[in-house]
Amino acid sequence: MSSLISVNNLTRHYGDFCAVNNISFELAAGDILGFLGPNGAGKTSTMQMLSGNLAPTFGEISINGIDLLDKPKAAKASLGYLPENPPLYKEMTVTEYLQFCGRLHLITKTQLTSVCDSAIERCGLGDVRHRLINNLSKGFQQRVGIAQAILHSPPVIILDEPTVGLDPIQILEIRQLIKTLGETHGIILCTHILPEVQALCSRVQIINHGNLVYSSSIDELLHKQTTQYEMSLTDTVTQDEIASHDAFISVEQIDNNNFIIDSDLNAEQLIEYIVKLKWGLSRFTARQTSLEQIFIDLTVGDIDMREKNMVETS
């Protein structure tokens, strides 16, 4: 399957600070790629470079087979982009705004009406098409933003925080729209909402300190064999005593008799091992691998360290 986006060794420096460090990935048709990271990780810089709004220090970006740096106008013609704050002219009606965007995309006069009607229908804007954008709810304004991104039928769509500030009903509606668009487009979804990624995306990537630290398909994530378990003991056993056994990679005490353990042994072997130790095992459950846990494991320690360093240097 040919790549709609191909990114190779993408790097961006701001003076001595490296915001994005040598990342590479690809996006194919039918992919919805969740792009995650804590604040300051390099997500926004990466999205700005992919959309042609920021030049990379090093690296290559190809959109639909066209080099973005060599032929920026031709490459960006294959791209639809919704930034976190949609670029709306709120004094226009929905139809006026989309027709204006259509002319910017060089859509011909004979096609303009049908193209705008199609985007309005796909984004559920039929009932508000003649209303001023300023008088629309946040949810409908987001829909207008998505409509301008898909107006010219681009193969690639980049959505930056598309559901921020929406109510639960609006979030469900926008998610359904994104899922429908993902059937015929390649989509990059940049968001802080982890359940949203797990519900919508076929693949997920996590960036931290400018480095791509995790990349996996959602199916692989959900079917990954866990190495973590929760256990409850009736006997008083200390965390240090449990950790002294080689069978346990790590031990975290939840409260007096409840622990989270990590082990290379499978569940059956581990239960047998604990029973032989006569610790009074009363409960034993596998912890389901989740995107949230992976995100925390890869980023929270670094965040805590950054905060500690800020305190120490202030």
Please check whether residue 189 is in contact with residue 34, taking contact to mean a CB–CB distance below 8 angstroms.
yes
Please tell me whether residues 105 and 209 are part of one structural domain.
no
Name the 3-class secondary structure at 288.
coil
pLDDT of residue 301: 57
Which of helix, strand or coil describes residue 147? helix
* 54 and 6 fall within a common domain: yes
In a domain, 292, yes or no: no
**Residues 280 and 136 reside in one and the same domain:** no
Residue 307: pLDDT band (50, 70, 90) is very low
Asked if residues 230 and 260 have their Cβ atoms less than 8 Å apart, the reply is: yes
In a domain, 298, yes or no: no
Q: Is 115 in the same domain as 136?
A: yes
302: confidence class by pLDDT, cuts 50, 70, 90: low
Q: In this structure, what token pair is assigned to residue 194?
A: 């982890």
Smallest CA-to-CA distance from 41 within 302, 291, 297, 313 is with 302
306 has a pLDDT exceeding 60: no
Q: How many domains does the chain have?
A: 3
Q: What is the pLDDT of residue 119?
A: 93
Residue 249 scores a pLDDT above 50 = yes
Place of tokens 């399957």: 1
Query: Quick check: is 170 in a domain?
Result: yes
Co-location of 148 and 178 in the same domain: no
Residues spanned by the domain of 1: 1-78+154-223
In a domain, residue 294? The reply is: no
Write out pLDDT tens, residues 257-279. Answer: 899 999 988 889 999 999 999 99
| DSSP 8-state secondary structure symbol assigned to residue 226 | P
Model pLDDT for residues 73-129, shown as the tens digit of each residue: 999 999 999 988 888 999 999 999 999 999 999 999 999 999 999 999 988 899 999
In this model, does residue 165 exceed pLDDT 60? yes
pTM as predicted: 0.76
Looking at residue 260, which CATH number applies to its domain? 3.30.70
Name the band, by pLDDT with cuts 50, 70 and 90, for residue 288: low
In a domain? residue 204: yes
Of 188, 223, 258, the one marking the end of a domain is 223
Average pLDDT over residues 299-314: 47
**CATH number for the domain that contains residue 34:** 3.40.50.300
Query: Given a cut of 60, is residue 308 above it in pLDDT?
Result: no
Is 206 part of any domain? yes
| Helices marked H in 123-234 | 138-150, 168-181, 194-200, 218-222
Same domain, 170 and 63: yes
pLDDT in tens, 192-236: 888 888 889 999 999 999 999 989 888 887 666 567 899 999 998
> Is-contact 156 5, C-beta < 8 A?
yes
Strands (E), the chain: 3-14, 17-28, 32-36, 58-63, 66-67, 79-82, 156-160, 186-190, 203-208, 211-217, 228-233, 250-255, 258-262, 281-286
Residue 103, C-beta contacts closer than 8 angstroms, at least 6 positions apart: 112
Which residues are within 8 A (CB) of 254 and not within 5 positions of it... i.e. 6 or more apart?
230, 260
| Co-location of 149 and 159 in the same domain | no
Mean pLDDT of the chain: 88
Share of the chain above pLDDT 70, in %: 92
8 and 70 in a single domain? The answer is: yes
155: its two tokens: 């193969």
Residue 153 has pLDDT above 80, yes or no: yes
Decide if 300 is inside a domain.
no
58 and 177 part of one domain? yes
